[in-house]
Amino acid sequence: GIWKTSHQGQFPLTQNVTVVEGGTANLTCRVDQNDNTSLQWSNPAQQTLYFDDKKALRDNRIELVRASWHELSISVSDVSLSDEGQYTCSLFTMPVKTSKAFLTVLGVPEKPQITGFTSPVMEGERMQLTCKTSGSKPAADIRWFKNDKEVKDVKYLKEEDANRKTFTVSSTLDFLADRSDDGAVVSCRVDHESLNSTPQIAMQVLEIHYTPLVKIISSNSWPEEGQSIILTCESKGKPVPEPVLWTKDGGELPDPERMVVNGRVLSISFLNKTDNGTYRCEAKNPIGRNSTEYVLIVHDPNALAGQTGPDHALIGGIVAVVVFVTLCSIILLGRYLARHKGTYLTNEAKGAEDAPDADTAIINAEGSQVNAEEKKEYFI
């Protein structure tokens, strides 16, 4: 803190003090230049505590630390909130010189409590957890964490305690229970300057119950006749689902000799076409039930020709396209040639109108080529 001074020369110096409730406050008053003048400490009620090295107030908590012409230091142990206030050091010069020191007492927050917790909670239910701590001065700060990740959207409430000095603070965490929260650790953390940067923490482990989630995993992605297949039904739920139920096309498994169920696993050996169909796995727990399906198609291992079949079809298709394109080209070329022949005849005829013989007709026709271009466009 800052040493407070009054006038130049002979004067007392003091410092403000902050102490945690229940701790010890040291009040020190110094005088650099002193010609044997007495020093005195008095409390906020103006009662003298010490006059030089003589104790003036009967309070076992107040003790002398050091008394000399240059310093008067005292200690107050087991400080209570009511000790807070302005203490005065006086130097008995003429006139008396004083220096004031403010004693701030911090109220320590009680260990927080989480209320509103029930276990287990069904998925989708609303959870409201409230964390509360009393006795802090100034008001403590409350933060919520879910698995060490801070949750921001919370309500905060501050109330003055009956002593009118400390505060009770509470914060409410409000959320819908989700299966991902099962096993999550929710903690409420109280931070306060009196805690020496070691926060107080209350924790609660969430238990969320939810309907099973079901998935079928197949051991064989292209099952063929004579082979075997293993279908594994994975079911996750809380409480843990009962043994799963396997059905085929809505009824019982038709061939228990080849279709063996062991826990969540269905094994089918020596596959044949009659095994084709929809296999369903259903899992249930006290919360509800869920199922999923797997469609089995058994392939013929001898259908190799069938497999190359598409290749033949593809080649045939390409040949057909080539033939078609070729035919189209021939037809178009034929039409194109026919049109040009027509144009030539027209020119010849046009020239003949005003020419004495055929040769001149052709020459004239070439001269009127411009008209022929227009004609050609219309013809096309």
Q: Is residue 86 within 8 Å of residue 44, measured between CB atoms?
A: yes
Angstrom distance (rounded) from CA 175 to CA 329: 73
List, in order, residues 6 or more apart from 234 with CB less than 8 Å away: 214, 215, 216, 217, 264
Angstrom distance (rounded) from CA 107 to CA 81: 7
Q: Is residue 7 within 8 Å of residue 27, measured between CB atoms?
A: no
Angstrom distance (rounded) from CA 43 to CA 22: 18
Per-residue confidence (pLDDT) for residue 35, from 0 to 100: 81
Burial (CB count <10 Å: 0-12, 13-18, 19+), residue 233: buried
From the DSSP assignment, how many helices (H) and strands (E) are in the chain?
Answer: 3, 26
Q: Is residue 143 within 8 Å of residue 156, measured between CB atoms?
A: no
List, in order, residues 6 or more apart from 237 with CB less than 8 Å away: 210, 211, 212, 213, 283, 285, 287, 290
DSSP bridge pairs for 84 = none
Which stretch of DSSP H or E encloses residue 18? strand 17-20
Q: Is residue 141 within 8 Å of residue 133, measured between CB atoms?
A: no
The side-by-side arrangement of strands in the sheet containing 12-13 is: 12-13, 25-31, 71-76, 62-67
Q: Is residue 220 within 8 Å of residue 227, measured between CB atoms?
A: yes
Which stretch of DSSP H or E encloses residue 363? helix 358-367
Helix (H, G, I), strand (E, B) or coil at 371: helix
Per-residue confidence (pLDDT) for residue 36, from 0 to 100: 84
List, in order, residues 6 or more apart from 297 with CB less than 8 Å away: 223, 276
Angstrom distance (rounded) from CA 136 to CA 224: 74
List, in order, residues 6 or more apart from 266 with CB less than 8 Å away: 230, 231, 232, 233, 246, 253, 259, 260, 279, 281
Per-residue confidence (pLDDT) for residue 153, from 0 to 100: 87
Angstrom distance (rounded) from CA 353 to CA 87: 136
Angstrom distance (rounded) from CA 372 to CA 347: 7
Q: Is residue 306 within 8 Å of residue 224, measured between CB atoms?
A: no
The side-by-side arrangement of strands in the sheet containing 48-51 is: 17-20, 97-106, 85-91, 39-42, 48-51, 54-55
**Tens of pLDDT, residue by residue, the chain (380 residues):** 555 554 456 899 999 999 999 999 999 999 988 888 999 999 999 999 999 999 999 999 999 999 998 999 999 999 999 999 999 999 999 899 999 999 999 999 999 999 999 999 999 999 999 999 999 999 999 999 999 999 998 999 999 999 999 999 999 999 999 999 999 999 999 999 999 889 999 999 999 999 999 999 999 999 999 999 999 999 999 999 988 999 999 999 999 999 999 999 999 999 999 999 999 999 999 999 999 999 999 999 887 644 444 556 666 677 677 767 778 687 887 677 767 655 544 444 444 455 455 554 444 544 444 444 444 444 44
CA 128 to each of CA 122, 174, 179, 238, 282: distance values in angstroms, whole numbers, following the listed order: 14, 5, 17, 21, 34
Q: Is residue 144 within 8 Å of residue 150, measured between CB atoms?
A: yes
Q: Delineate the domains of the chain, giving CATH numbers in brackets.
A: 12-106 (2.60.40.10), 113-206 (2.60.40.10), 211-296 (2.60.40.10)
Residue 124 has phi, psi (to 5 degrees) of 90, -15
Closest CA to 12 of 20, 23, 21, 4: 4
pTM: 0.66
Identify residue 12 by its one-letter amino acid code.
Answer: P
Position of tokens 């594994």?
232
Closest CA to 130 of 110, 96, 157, 162: 157
Secondary structure letter of residue 70 according to DSSP: S
